[in-house]
Structure 1
Amino acid sequence: MSVSEPCVPAEAVAAARAASERSDRLVGTALALFAVAIWGGWIVSTRHAVAGHLTPSAVGWLRFVVPALVLAPWWLKIGLWPRGRVVPFLFCFMGSGAIFFLVVANAMRFVPAADVGPLLPGTMPLIVAVISVLALKERLGWVRAAGFVCIALGVVTLGGRGLLNSADGAWRGHLLLLTGASLWAGYTLAFRRTGLDAKELVGLIGLWSAIILTPVGLPGVFTALREGYGAEVLQLLLVQGIGSGVVALVAFGMAIEKLGSSRAAAFTGLVPALAAGLAVPLLDEHPDMAAVIGIVATGFGVVLASGALVPARRG
């Protein structure tokens, strides 16, 4: 005679599911905020580095060799290539690996750090939202749609000023930054389709990026060391390699797992404000009224677009 399993009330199941979703949203929000805080510093650090004594390829090598080594126990479990998920992995590699870094680092040779925030992490969530709606049939709802409109307003206010008043040649940097934002959007959308967790994916991208950049990047690192810039190389290993290369990407990957692509992407709209704030003491750049308006609009838009004010909905 079999003993029947106790019947769990539907209300209890619904309550447990809602509690789990709330927990995921809180954890995902904390991880996303942690990642974008690091990326705010990354913009200032990269701009300083490529305008200084290291080439973009040398900075990129320092950026990727650390996650390749630190996360080796994870990517070694799956091998050198994620079998059966090649296309999503290529999108992720293009959007956060060596190619993305070289595009953005070269852009920073033409434009100041103040232009990077609105044109790179500022536009990325908008691209993700458009693709999510048009290609993936995601329904944003009017609250989140209003948030993306606010982010767009912040991007236009912050970036438009730089575009209108740009010096000769700055258009190259702006074009490269928009290209980088599109690549990064591809990474954000493809992440969950790789079937890999954040540490496996970040480690594998770091491995292939370090391999690609070694012939052109490693000689530049040796040159910097030989010329007495060892302290700068060490600083880049910490900020670029550990901070941006491992901690931020793993945290953002986990945020995508918890929140979904478009919700996690919305938080990158805060990076322009963070970068502008850090640029004051580190680069002696002070935001004007246009920057303040753009920062406020972007921050408010992130709150709406992230879904903080609407019930959680995965995807």
Structure 2
Amino acid sequence: MIITLLIWSGFFLSLRASSHSNLTTADIALIRFVPAALLFSWLCRHKFKRILQTPKRYLLLICWGAGLPYFLIAGQGLQYVPVADGASLIPGILPLFVSGIAVFCYRETISPARKAGLILIAIGVVGFVAKSFAAGQPGMLLGYSILLFASFSWAWFTIAMRLSGLSAMEGAAVIAISGCLLLTMGALSGQMSFNLLSSDHHEVFYHFLVQGVGVGIVSSLCYTMAISRLGAEVSAALGSFTPVLAALMAIPLFSEPLSEQTMLAMALIVMGALAASEVLPVSHSNLLKKLRRQRAG
């Protein structure tokens, strides 16, 4: 999960950097999904029958929530807002959506600690939205809305991956292969444009390392493995540390200073995410009960 956090930070920075280059979002997606699809197709060549036997609703949610649709939604949202805001909203609000889905769709009860955490997350999100109103920038409000939808999509992927029974490698294969298929459809329909061959090769190599190797291969394996080992809610909570890393890295790269309001909103989201997913046990007995439930599950 630590490796995943570092790569996620690079993911947001890479998408933000693409808005200042000749590379289109489709170019970045091509770099993101093709290397992973080639690798995982070969590694899972004997497991396609098992993958296809997975309930189709889970496969669809995995393809949408972590594949090309999520990638395009997140990339679009980051065109309007700073990296710190984007990296805070997508992984930061994730536990709120995961808990909401668990309550409404799976009738799970919410503990007082989780309720308190969700309230902190909501206050943090309001802080971001209030900043766009105060600055008179409607474009930022649109960006926040898009990023919230991206986080909602990622929440469904997190839950679907947990319930599907797929291994980390099989889940990564579903994400990568579906992304390539959708990219092909977009190219044939003329809905996507590519400038990859005419772009600077140094910039292409940078995105290949971050998106192709880091996010496409390493992060896909690490996060899906974290979900299977730690559970959906704990993995979502740990992901809330992404904005801190991304925001610090964005200061020298994009000259994006952190305002006091931004730092306060980030702190609320991080603390709320930890409390909402109950990563910090309130007592030793509660921790033992939680471990027994995980083992029984």
TM-score (norm 2): 0.85
CA shift in 2, pair 1:296/1:107, >3 Å: closer
The letter of the residue matching 2:35 is V
The letter of the residue matching 1:307 is E
Gaps of at least 5 residues in structure 2 are 282-286
Q: Identify the residue that residue 304 of structure 1 maps to in structure 2.
A: 275
Q: Identify the residue that residue 70 of structure 1 maps to in structure 2.
A: 39
CA shift in 2, pair 1:259/1:292, >3 Å: same
Q: Does 1:119 align with 2:96?
A: no
SS in 2 for 1:285: coil
Instruction: Give how far 1:148 is off.
Output: 2.8
State which drifts further: 160-169 or 93-102.
160-169
Q: Identify the residue that residue 62 of structure 2 maps to in structure 1.
A: 92
CA shift in 2, pair 1:155/1:63, >3 Å: same
Q: Hey, what's the Cα distance between the residues in 2 that align with 1:217 and 1:160?
A: 39
Q: Identify the residue that residue 271 of structure 1 maps to in structure 2.
A: 242
**CA offsets 1:261-311 (integer angstroms, 9 cap, x no match):** 122112222222222111111111111111222232233233323433321
CA shift in 2, pair 1:284/1:217, >3 Å: farther
CA shift in 2, pair 1:211/1:134, >3 Å: closer
Q: Does 1:193 align with 2:163?
A: yes
Q: Hey, what's the Cα distance between the residues in 1 that align with 2:225 and 2:129?
A: 29
Q: Hey, what's the Cα distance between the residues in 2 that align with 1:72 and 1:245?
A: 13
Q: Identify the residue that residue 151 of structure 2 maps to in structure 1.
A: 181
Q: Identify the residue that residue 290 of structure 1 maps to in structure 2.
A: 261
State which drifts further: 281-290 or 65-74.
65-74
SS in 2 for 1:36: helix
Select 1:141's aligned residue among 111, 114, 118: 111
Task: Provide the alpha-carbon RMSD of the alignment.
Answer: 2.4
Say whether the 8 Å CA contact 1:115–1:162 is kept in structure 2.
no
The letter of the residue matching 1:257 is S
The letter of the residue matching 2:12 is I
TM-score (norm 1): 0.81
Say whether the 8 Å CA contact 2:93–2:269 is kept in structure 1.
no
Residues 22-41 of structure 1: matches in 2 within 5 Å?
Answer: 31=1, 33-41=2-10
Say whether the 8 Å CA contact 2:13–2:250 is kept in structure 1.
yes
Instruction: Give how far 1:186 is off.
Output: 0.7
SS in 2 for 1:169: helix
Alignment coverage as a number of residue pairs: 282
SS in 2 for 1:286: coil
CA shift in 2, pair 1:303/1:176, >3 Å: closer
Q: Hey, what's the Cα distance between the residues in 1 that align with 2:54 and 2:220?
A: 23
Q: Hey, what's the Cα distance between the residues in 2 that align with 1:289 and 1:58?
A: 35
Q: Hey, what's the Cα distance between the residues in 2 that align with 1:133 and 1:239?
A: 35
Q: Hey, what's the Cα distance between the residues in 2 that align with 1:83 and 1:69?
A: 22
Say whether the 8 Å CA contact 2:93–2:273 is kept in structure 1.
no
Say whether the 8 Å CA contact 2:95–2:273 is kept in structure 1.
no
Q: Identify the residue that residue 11 of structure 1 maps to in structure 2.
A: none
